[in-house]
Amino acid sequence: MKVQKFSVSDAKMGKSPGQNAEIYVGNLVDEKDGGPVTIGYGRYAPDQSLTETMEVDDTMIVLEGRLSVCTSNGTVTAARGDIVYMPKGEVVTITTEGEGALTAFVTYPHWATVHKG
Amino acid sequence: MKVQKFSVSDAKMGKSPGQNAEIYVGNLVDEKDGGPVTIGYGRYAPDQSLTETMEVDDTMIVLEGRLSVCTSNGTVTAARGDIVYMPKGEVVTITTEGEGALTAFVTYPHWATVHKG
């Protein structure tokens, strides 16, 4: 693959699989591209909540708004410019309040390849 | 590892190894943490230029400012919210102009482990 640049307008956003919240993801680089990582954007409407067991290592960078990530060890809140690292095996609940959030994410390996939901 | 949240103020920024430009990196997660990826922030002063051959897959998210990435296939310019994917093996020249740039990055595998410079 060659060097590529993406903007959020390049992503085709679709509902995140296996859940009903107003949370959308759009991959820009994934298993079809032959590299090790999936890269994309995520958009969370206000007042949403999603609980999942991480099937991959997922690094989330908050570009707009704010979200919280709750685990058995406590809750972290991330705003613009913050990074949340969610290692494989962790059980996380991601919630938004009034603002919603826009994120960029990088997963290793490809989340769609291991996703069973 | 557990879920962790980072802000740019958490990073201890140091000069990017093997080069003399005013470009600083600060890892937050790396090979010492036992996961597959290195995560950190990068800060580029204005009017800097760095050429390197990618030793890892590096995903860069622009948080502030603007930078350009030039390869043999052309140049892309990325501003706030944009993602630049730089696969292993690519030769890139990253340049900033008057604004400089702040980035978040995720590398697979760990850049410091493979870096020979």
Over residues A39-49, the pLDDT tens digits come to: 999 999 999 99
Contacts of A89 by beta carbon, 8 Å cutoff, 6+ apart: A53, A54
Residue of A nearest to B84 (CA): A5
Q: What is the mean pLDDT of residues B74-98?
A: 97
Tens digit of pLDDT for each residue in B86-96? Answer: 999 999 999 99
The rounded distance, in Å, linking the Cα atoms of A95 and A110 is 23
Residue A17 confidence class, pLDDT cut points 50, 70, 90:
confident
Confidence at residue A34, expressed as pLDDT on a 0 to 100 scale: 93
Residues from B contacting A (CB-CB < 8 Å) are 1-8, 28-29, 35-37, 39, 41, 57, 59, 61, 63-64, 69, 71, 73, 76-78, 80-88, 90, 92, 102, 104, 106, 108
Residue of A nearest to B86 (CA): A3
ipTM here: 0.94
Tens digit of pLDDT for each residue in B5-24? Answer: 999 999 999 998 778 899 99
Write the secondary structure of chain A as one string of H (helix), E (strand) and C (coil).
CCCEEECHHHCCCEECCCCCCCEEEEEEECHHHCCCCEEEEEEECCCCEEEEECCCEEEEEEEEEEEEEEECCEEEEEECCCEEEECCCCEEEEECCCCCEEEEEEEECCHHHHCCC
Considering only CB atoms, which chain B residues are within 8 Å of A108?
36-37, 108
DSSP summary character for residue B32: G
Q: Is residue A67 within 8 Å of residue A94, measured between CB atoms?
A: yes
CA–CA min distance B1, chain A (Å): 6
Residue of B nearest to A60 (CA): B5
- Is the pLDDT at B117 greater than 80? The verdict is no
Mean pLDDT for all residues in chain B: 95
**What tokens appear for B26 in the block?**
């600060």
Contact flag B2-A28 (C-beta cutoff 8 Å): no
pTM higher than 0.90: yes
Considering only CB atoms, which chain A residues are within 8 Å of B8?
81
Tens digit of pLDDT for each residue in A32-91? Answer: 999 999 999 999 999 999 999 999 999 999 999 999 999 999 999 999 999 999 999 999
Q: Is residue A44 within 8 Å of residue A104, measured between CB atoms?
A: no
Contact flag B84-A36 (C-beta cutoff 8 Å): no
Residue A115 confidence class, pLDDT cut points 50, 70, 90:
confident
- Is the pLDDT at A96 greater than 60? The verdict is yes
Confidence at residue A116, expressed as pLDDT on a 0 to 100 scale: 60
Q: Is residue A7 within 8 Å of residue B81, measured between CB atoms?
A: yes
Tens digit of pLDDT for each residue in B51-67? Answer: 999 999 999 999 999 99
B52 burial via Cβ count (<10 Å: 0-12, 13-18, 19+): middle
